[in-house]
A and B are shown apart, each in its own frame.
Chain A
Amino acid sequence: MMRLAAAVLVLVVVSFPVSVLPGPPVTWLAVLGGVVGGAGAVLLSVTLVTVGASVALIAYALALLIARPVDADPLAATGFGAALVVVLVLVHFAARADGAALGPAVLATQLRQWLATIAVGVLAAAGLAMAGALLGAVLAGTSLPVVVAAAALGALLTVAGLIALTTRQDPPNPT
């Protein structure tokens, strides 16, 4: 059941780039991402699903680059990000719980956690989209290299901060 749900989510993930530009080479990349991610969903391998999702993300970027839509679509982008989160946590949980006995409240608690995280993520994405729109209006006259440099620095700092956050170990609990 969890494998089926994960496979459906992988299908949803790879459908985002195709919805932006339904044609080659985006379709090829999406199919490749779908095959790898699908294999990850069947084998309950987080690594394969990550690879498949990365390919889907590249296909999405390529689709945006080729199609060049005038305005950004924050709704679709947020949905794509949320689907990525759900597919990762679902496959990770399914891989751990495969063949194990599950207590009565386990699935409900997990679903509640996931939905709450998605809700916060959607709100944060909406906030960022609005902040970006405001910032765009303010920085209308700024030259492009400065914006690109600032964006690159911001992205770099975000990734570095995430790596520092995730590799930090808590001190042992005295109890």
Chain B
Amino acid sequence: MSWRPSALNVSFVTLAGWALFLGVLTGRADLVIVAVPLVVALLIGRRAGATPTLRVDHTVSSDRVLEDERLTVTVTIRADGPAPLVELLEPLPSRVTVERGSAHAFFTLRAGEEVRWEFALRCRGRQRLRLGGPHCRLWGPLGLATAEARYRVTQTVAVYPHLAPLRHPPRPVRTQTYVGHHVSAAQGEGIEPGDIRPFAPGDQVRHVNWRATLRHGTLHVTRHHRERNADVVLLLDTLSEVGPPGASVVDVAARGAADLAAAYLARKDRVGLIEYGGQLRWVKPGSGRAQFQRLLDTLLDASVVFTYVTRDLDLVPPRILPPQALVVALSPLLDARFVRAATDLAARGADLVVVAVSPAPAAQAALPPSPVVDLAARLWTLERRAELDGHRRRGLTIVEWDGVGPLEVALAALRWPRLRRALAR
């Protein structure tokens, strides 16, 4: 770091110059005396001495937070020499607000003194928050000299979508072979009672249905439905985006996908993810906490990448999109390429549910409120309803979600597969 003059010098020189010029012009000693304190201040201001070496330590309270969670940044500064005025400024991205303290601070440090500076941030919207470390500026006497440095400590904080509990996500029509929470059509060991049949050697006595036995006069046993898990693939549309950063339809869809992933993984289902956009990215179906973390990390990076290329879902390997899987598509249904892909998928017999994220509230959030915007949003909503009805007639099961209310309410109509089929008709 080295000292350089600040802009304040210009003001001092200007006023001193004026005073001296006017003093000579008018021949008055008073004006020359006026210039003396200004000249003395300029001389003192340039006697800044050697710049002290600052040691800056920058830490964050966590490297993973949820949306709207508080993140505390702690900066510790230590100077090897006296620093009369140290200015620190942490540059923040646009979707981060300071909740407590300030990201801009001034300190006075004695030689060897250590100062701790803390402030809390609130992160709006999913993002990978990159904090690059504070800008540091030393001010000489009277602010007439300054020395600057940037302490680079790249710290990335993953801000995951806020999770809302989903108690009743859409039930899959088909189940898999592993034990889970879904009642399978297949008979075997389970809790849900199924058929009643005559007793056969090997049947357990605890399965005997005494009421049927008394009625028929011979031993009858109750069979049960197996409880199995399911494969769920979340299909995220990143072909189009409407709304401000952090509250766009892709952000809303990513939030919904995170809710669904958490709900299905809690039911021991295997959950995968396909990001259908300019980049076709996927996560193989899996279960457990590690899989949830993988899904969240992929959702964090989901963004619109512009392309003219149309990629078909045929490109996706069957292990990523199993034929028996329940596919939950989250899309604003604004891009015809996604609508075509979803229609093809449904036509091939896939168990598909489309959560149509309404773009109208996101578009409204991006515009200044006015009656014209409200009217346009209402008209757009009506137009979209007609479009969605057309998609439903083509065999898609669609529920509309405005992204403002809970996803649970939007999905209530899809709770049972039978209702879902009725809805598709």
A residues touching B (Cβ–Cβ < 8 Å)?
Answer: 46-47, 49-50, 53-54, 57-58, 60-61, 64-65, 72-74, 76-78, 80-82, 84-85, 88-89, 92-93, 96-97, 99-103, 105-106, 109-110, 113-114, 117-118, 120-122, 124-125, 128-129, 132, 148, 151-152, 155, 158-159, 162-163, 165-173, 175
Contacts and interface: CB of A to CB of B under 8 A. Distances in A.
5 contacts: A117-B142, A120-B44, A162-B13, A162-B42, A166-B9
Contacts of B117: 101
B18 A57 contact: yes
Majority secondary structure of chain A interface residues (helix, strand, loop or mixed): helix
B7 interface: yes
Contacts, number: 216
Given A50-B10, A61-B31, 15 more contacts: A46-B7, A54-B14, A61-B25, A81-B19, A85-B37, A88-B15, A89-B142, A97-B106, A100-B102, A105-B108, A155-B24, A158-B39, A159-B20, A166-B144, A167-B9
Interface stretch (B46-54, B122-130, B235-243): B46-54
A158 B106 CA distance: 34
A50 B11 contact: yes
Interface in B5-62: 5-44, 46, 48, 50-51, 53
A73 B27 CA distance: 14
B231 to A, nearest CB: 52
Contacts of A102: 105-106
B5 A113 contact: no
B28 A64 contact: yes
A121 B20 contact: no
B310 interface: no
A173 B51 contact: yes
A81 B44 contact: no
Contacts of B139: 96
Contact of A99 (B38, B102, B144): B102
A46 B30 contact: no
A113 B139 CA distance: 12
B104 A84 contact: no
A82 B32 CA distance: 13
Contact of B37 (A57, A61, A82): A82
Nearest to A149: B24
Given A89-B142, A103-B107, A103-B108, A132 B29 contact: yes
Contacts of A129: 29, 33
A84 B4 CA distance: 23
B264 to A, nearest CB: 45
B30 A73 contact: yes
Contact of B1 (A74, A109, A172): A172
A64 B32 CA distance: 13
Nearest to A158: B20
A105 B43 CA distance: 24
Contacts of B293: none
B112 interface: no
Given A159-B13, A170-B2, A74 B143 contact: no
Nearest to A144: B27
Contacts of A173: 1-2, 50-51, 147
Contacts of A80: 34
Nearest to B29: A72
B37 A167 contact: no
Contact of B106 (A65, A74, A101, A162): A101
Contacts of B305: none
B65 interface: no
Contacts of A117: 37, 40-41, 44, 141-142
Contact of A120 (B40, B48, B51): B40
Interface in B135-182: 139, 141-144, 147
Nearest to B147: A173
Contacts of B8: 46, 88-89, 92
Contact of B22 (A47, A58, A93, A97): A58
A75 to B, nearest CB: 9
B18 A78 contact: no
A110 B141 CA distance: 8
A82 B19 CA distance: 13
A168 to B, nearest CB: 8
A101 B104 contact: yes
A20 B370 CA distance: 58
B100 to A, nearest CB: 10
